[in-house]
Chains A and B, each alone.
Chain A
Amino acid sequence: MFFKKQQSLAPDRIKKETTDDKELIPVSKDEFISIMKQRLQDGADFKTKELANGFTLVFLDTLTDKKMLNKDILARLGGISATPDEALKSITVSSTSKQKYIEDGVDAILKGAVLVHSAGYPVIISAVVATQENRSLTKPETESQVMGPQIAFNESLATNISLLRRFLTNANLCNESFTVGKQTNSAVALLYLKDIADEEMVDRMRERIQGIEIDSVMDSSNLSQLIEDNSMGIFPQMLLTERPDRACSWLLNGKLVVLVDGSVQVIGAPQSFMEFFESMEDQNVRWQIATFLRLLRMFSMVVSVFFTPIYVAALTFHYEIIPQTLLVPLGESRSRVPFPPIIEALLLETMIELLREAAARLPTKVGQTMGIVGGIVVGTAAVDAGFTSNILIIIINVSALSSFTSPNYMMGNVIRILRFPLIILAGFWGFYGLMFGFCFLLIHLIRQSSLGSPFLAPFYPPRFADWRDSIIRLPIGWTNYRPAQTRPLDRKKYRARKTKQ
């Protein structure tokens, strides 16, 4: 019984199942205070305030807003008779409720409520006067773009939902709330548009969130690993975004969006492989440019993953395929290198990865210095020392550059590590090994699913109508159908003709 099933269930179900185990609120004031004190481990911030007319206020100092506490609760409770009903009438806080059990009281107090106990009654009033310690809304950083709204989610669940509601003023936007994490009790919200999102998918998502048995969920990226289809896979099967406009466009396409309290990124599902190469900006620029950018990103992924392995394979086994004019400079630059191509490539790739990781951990100012140092050390000194060839440096740099073009940070990471096994395969078996790796990746991708829908859609299974807005983007008037991948209840977004007027 290390993990109780009840911990992860929805709050309403908890009430139903565990009512019998709960402890009733004691009538006596002193007993109530001592029980609460004991429940909260006699914390230093645990405060009680006894009023002359028989009310007792219990709260956590660190979680409550002093101003509200004084103005809306303490000032109001002064002159009235000490009954819960009177207190409920007088308190001018919007979210108040009556509690019968100690456990509910403890939950409320942990969320920033003040508990008002009236001597002689087994009922307490809880009024939420929590402080809102929030970062203000900032620009998106990992998904920054030139055009489009410049606002990102922040760490507060309520703020994030309000952002979404503001973008999407629609009564059909459903918001379901869950509690995940045995220790952290993190709030998780599931959002979707009724009449568009597929009910079966919503059920599946709900089941997955409720079925999690874990002690803590610190971030949405954390949660997405728990609820995705295949956690052994290389590719993430659910997308994360920090842009409210992107999350809204997902919702409008019939996707489900999951928000976690305390995390700046929201999860979107189901998702297809192609969406790794789509950016919100594609909708904001003209369609020819968007199509070009998407093709470019796709191409750069292929280059980034396969360029170095092809070099290794060709130079290790298949000299014949390199034309003579190219072979001369290649041989010249490799003449001083003492290593076989595979060692050479792995060495340089590792160096690039080191640089990248170091730059990511350092403050921005030092990071720039890192770039210069790294560039000089890797670029010039390594060649001068005869460690690597010039051409390999170009190749590695191009593939490193290409891996940054993915609009999705997680995909960039995947591309980053995919290179290593492929280089090793190419170094061992040449093109055969490379093709082995390619076929493995292909089968792997075909096998994946996102919330039960195929990962490689709209390519496989082929849904040609959806190609209009996947690898290419056609004019907005033509992309008037929602992708079949989300199995939307309402396929049609708008009538094609009407958009033109």
Chain B
Amino acid sequence: MKVLIEPKPQNMINTILLMFVIHSMQVGVGIQGFQRIIYMEAKQDAWISVILSGIAAALVGFIMVKTLHSYKNSDLYGIQYDVFGKWLGNLLNILFVCYFLAAFHMVARNYIEVIQAWIFPEVPSWLFFFSLLSLVYYGLNGGLRTIVGVSFFSVVLALWLILLMAFPFQFANWDYLLPVFEASIPEILMGAKQMTFTVVGFEIIYVLYPFLKEKDQVHKYMQFGLGFTTILYLAIMVISIAYFSGDQLERTIWGTLSLFKIVRFPFIERFEYVAISFWMLLILPNLMLYLWAATRGLSRIFNKKEQKVSWKLLVFLFLTLLYPLNRIQINMLDDYFAKGALFLIFGYPFLLFIAVVMKKKFFSKKGGSANVPKNK
């Protein structure tokens, strides 16, 4: 496997788009109902947990880009291969591929669960999965630029949804936010930990990095994307706490969607039907980029063409999605996934960074440098 990547110029994307990719990757199914799990830990101080999780994401994002910067043009797979050697490196690569596939699985399953719970309880799920996956395949076939384009439009075309938050805003009872700092620090930290599933997604930078045009601006746009997400989450969290009463919030599985319920225009009401359907556009970039990342991983490890890998993965994912799960099982799966993600996304990048720095030092003693590793 080659450590360094030389993408074709027609696959390169402007770094400014990274902002949209990061934001669209973070906003997915987690945002639909993150309020409840955070609230159960930190009560009315849940918004502090959201800020903490945002800071943690910014820190990890910084470390990730720092790690990638120490190579000229490589991705996670190349770096792990270079740092940990063939066997351990590829083992970790496969682990990350599995993580991306699992993330894909979770996003698709959670979304279809919402669809079935709110709109179509009787339509068989394979129909939904099939339609969703066929869209993913069509987008994936268009190459990276198409995928990034979908994530760009998913952010831009969904901005109006934020304005609808003005409706619950009218009915907010700000006393619900008081007293501040009632929760203990461990409780707030536990709340922040529960945000993992909602916050992850920015790890895509590990795979996307070689395709960005202006490398010196990666830090800036990475932080812009993360910051925008944090602000959005914070706003939704604050509105939710102020709008729902405590007991109500603990019983509301999909808090954000419930907020849409009271949106009302002269010609349309019960807006959550529109919002949930529209959510497909927010889900698509998640699915596409996760699958793309997994495909890149496998095709780099086994030296196969991406097109040959992607449809096999899609068929595999489709089959796994067919396995029926109920709400409790999905919740359990979410928890397992969040635990894995917590380690892989919020812990491991520091290890990798240290390893890369160590290797750099080790090599510089011998006269070489990790900046220009040999192509293997």
Name A's B-contacting residues (CB within 8 A). Answer: 317-318, 320-323, 325-326, 429-432, 434-436, 438-440, 442-444, 446-447, 454, 456, 459-462
- Answer yes or no: B135 CB below 8 A from chain A CBs: yes
Per the bound structure, the CA–CA distance linking A432 and B129 in Å amounts to 12
Interface string of B138-156 (1 = CB under 8 A from A): 1100100110011011001
Per the bound structure, the CA–CA distance linking A434 and B119 in Å amounts to 13
Partner of B153, one of A320, A325, A430, A442: A442
User: Given A317-B119, A446-B150: A434 and B264 within 8 A (CB)?
Assistant: no
- Answer yes or no: B311 CB below 8 A from chain A CBs: no
A447 contacts which chain B residues (CB < 8 A)?
A: 138-139, 142, 146
Besides A443-B142, A462-B16, 11 other A-B contacts (C-beta < 8 A): A321-B273, A321-B274, A323-B266, A432-B115, A435-B278, A438-B281, A446-B149, A447-B142, A454-B145, A459-B153, A461-B145
Q: List 20 A-B contacts (CB under 8 A).
A: A317-B120, A318-B119, A322-B267, A322-B269, A429-B123, A431-B274, A432-B280, A435-B277, A436-B135, A438-B281, A439-B150, A439-B280, A444-B138, A446-B142, A446-B150, A447-B138, A447-B139, A447-B146, A460-B153, A462-B17
Interface size of B by CB at 8 A reads 36
- Answer yes or no: B270 CB below 8 A from chain A CBs: yes
Q: Which positions 136-178 of chain B face chain A at CB distance < 8 Å?
A: 138-139, 142, 145-146, 149-150, 152-153, 156
A435 contacts which chain B residues (CB < 8 A)?
A: 277-278, 280-281
| A322 lies within 8 A of B152 (CB) | no
- Answer yes or no: B371 CB below 8 A from chain A CBs: no
- Answer yes or no: B326 CB below 8 A from chain A CBs: no
| A322 lies within 8 A of B268 (CB) | yes
Per the bound structure, the CA–CA distance linking A321 and B284 in Å amounts to 25
B120 contacts which chain A residues (CB < 8 A)?
A: 317, 429-430, 432
Per the bound structure, the CA–CA distance linking A454 and B145 in Å amounts to 10
Closest partner residue, chain B, to A318 (CB atom)? B273
| A432 lies within 8 A of B150 (CB) | no
| B267 lies within 8 A of A320 (CB) | no
User: Given A322-B268, A446-B142, A446-B146: A431 and B277 within 8 A (CB)?
Assistant: yes
Closest partner residue, chain A, to B269 (CB atom)? A323
Per the bound structure, the CA–CA distance linking A20 and B17 in Å amounts to 58
Q: Which positions 252-284 of chain B face chain A at CB distance < 8 Å?
A: 264, 266-271, 273-274, 276-278, 280-281, 284
3 closest A-B pairs by CB: A431-B277, A446-B149, A447-B142
B123 contacts which chain A residues (CB < 8 A)?
A: 429
| B153 lies within 8 A of A446 (CB) | yes
Tell me the interface secondary structure of chain A in the complex: helix
Per the bound structure, the CA–CA distance linking A444 and B138 in Å amounts to 8
Nearest CB of chain B from residue A325's CB, rounded to whole Å: 8
- Answer yes or no: B217 CB below 8 A from chain A CBs: no
Closest partner residue, chain B, to A446 (CB atom)? B149
Nearest CB of chain A from residue B352's CB, rounded to whole Å: 31
Interface string of B50-75 (1 = CB under 8 A from A): 00000000000000000000000000
Closest partner residue, chain A, to B132 (CB atom)? A436
Partner of A321, one of B16, B153, B271: B271
A436 contacts which chain B residues (CB < 8 A)?
A: 131, 135, 280
B142 contacts which chain A residues (CB < 8 A)?
A: 443, 446-447
Q: Which positions 301-315 of chain B face chain A at CB distance < 8 Å?
A: none
Per the bound structure, the CA–CA distance linking A317 and B13 in Å amounts to 41
A318 contacts which chain B residues (CB < 8 A)?
A: 119, 270, 273
- Answer yes or no: B99 CB below 8 A from chain A CBs: no
Closest partner residue, chain B, to A425 (CB atom)? B131
A432 contacts which chain B residues (CB < 8 A)?
A: 115, 119-120, 128, 277, 280
Nearest CB of chain A from residue B253's CB, rounded to whole Å: 19
User: Given A430-B120, A432-B120, A460-B152: A321 and B17 within 8 A (CB)?
Assistant: no
Name B's A-contacting residues (CB within 8 A). Answer: 13-14, 16-17, 115, 119-120, 123, 128, 131, 135, 138-139, 142, 145-146, 149-150, 152-153, 156, 264, 266-271, 273-274, 276-278, 280-281, 284
Closest partner residue, chain A, to B283 (CB atom)? A439
A454 contacts which chain B residues (CB < 8 A)?
A: 145
Interface centre among A321, A443, A461 (most CB of B within 10 A): A443
Per the bound structure, the CA–CA distance linking A439 and B145 in Å amounts to 16
B152 contacts which chain A residues (CB < 8 A)?
A: 460, 462
| A443 lies within 8 A of B150 (CB) | yes
Nearest CB of chain B from residue A170's CB, rounded to whole Å: 32
A443 contacts which chain B residues (CB < 8 A)?
A: 135, 138-139, 142, 146, 150, 284
A431 contacts which chain B residues (CB < 8 A)?
A: 119, 273-274, 276-277
| A442 lies within 8 A of B270 (CB) | no
Closest partner residue, chain B, to A460 (CB atom)? B149
Closest partner residue, chain B, to A438 (CB atom)? B281
| B278 lies within 8 A of A321 (CB) | no
B281 contacts which chain A residues (CB < 8 A)?
A: 435, 438-439, 442
Per the bound structure, the CA–CA distance linking A74 and B69 in Å amounts to 82
A440 contacts which chain B residues (CB < 8 A)?
A: 135, 138
Per the bound structure, the CA–CA distance linking A146 and B111 in Å amounts to 51
| B273 lies within 8 A of A434 (CB) | no
Closest partner residue, chain A, to B156 (CB atom)? A459
| A321 lies within 8 A of B119 (CB) | no
A321 contacts which chain B residues (CB < 8 A)?
A: 268-271, 273-274
| B119 lies within 8 A of A430 (CB) | yes
Closest partner residue, chain B, to A323 (CB atom)? B269
B115 contacts which chain A residues (CB < 8 A)?
A: 432
Nearest CB of chain B from residue A274's CB, rounded to whole Å: 14
Nearest CB of chain B from residue A445's CB, rounded to whole Å: 9
Closest partner residue, chain A, to B143 (CB atom)? A447
B145 contacts which chain A residues (CB < 8 A)?
A: 446, 454, 461
Per the bound structure, the CA–CA distance linking A462 and B284 in Å amounts to 20
Nearest CB of chain A from residue B254's CB, rounded to whole Å: 16
Per the bound structure, the CA–CA distance linking A192 and B40 in Å amounts to 67
B268 contacts which chain A residues (CB < 8 A)?
A: 321-323
Closest partner residue, chain B, to A436 (CB atom)? B131
Per the bound structure, the CA–CA distance linking A325 and B264 in Å amounts to 13
Per the bound structure, the CA–CA distance linking A432 and B139 in Å amounts to 18
Per the bound structure, the CA–CA distance linking A196 and B17 in Å amounts to 28
Nearest CB of chain A from residue B58's CB, rounded to whole Å: 24
| A461 lies within 8 A of B17 (CB) | yes
Per the bound structure, the CA–CA distance linking A80 and B274 in Å amounts to 89
Nearest CB of chain B from residue A452's CB, rounded to whole Å: 9
A461 contacts which chain B residues (CB < 8 A)?
A: 13-14, 17, 145, 149
Per the bound structure, the CA–CA distance linking A431 and B152 in Å amounts to 22
Nearest CB of chain A from residue B143's CB, rounded to whole Å: 8
Per the bound structure, the CA–CA distance linking A182 and B16 in Å amounts to 49
Nearest CB of chain A from residue B269's CB, rounded to whole Å: 5
Partner of A323, one of B14, B264, B276: B264
B280 contacts which chain A residues (CB < 8 A)?
A: 432, 435-436, 439
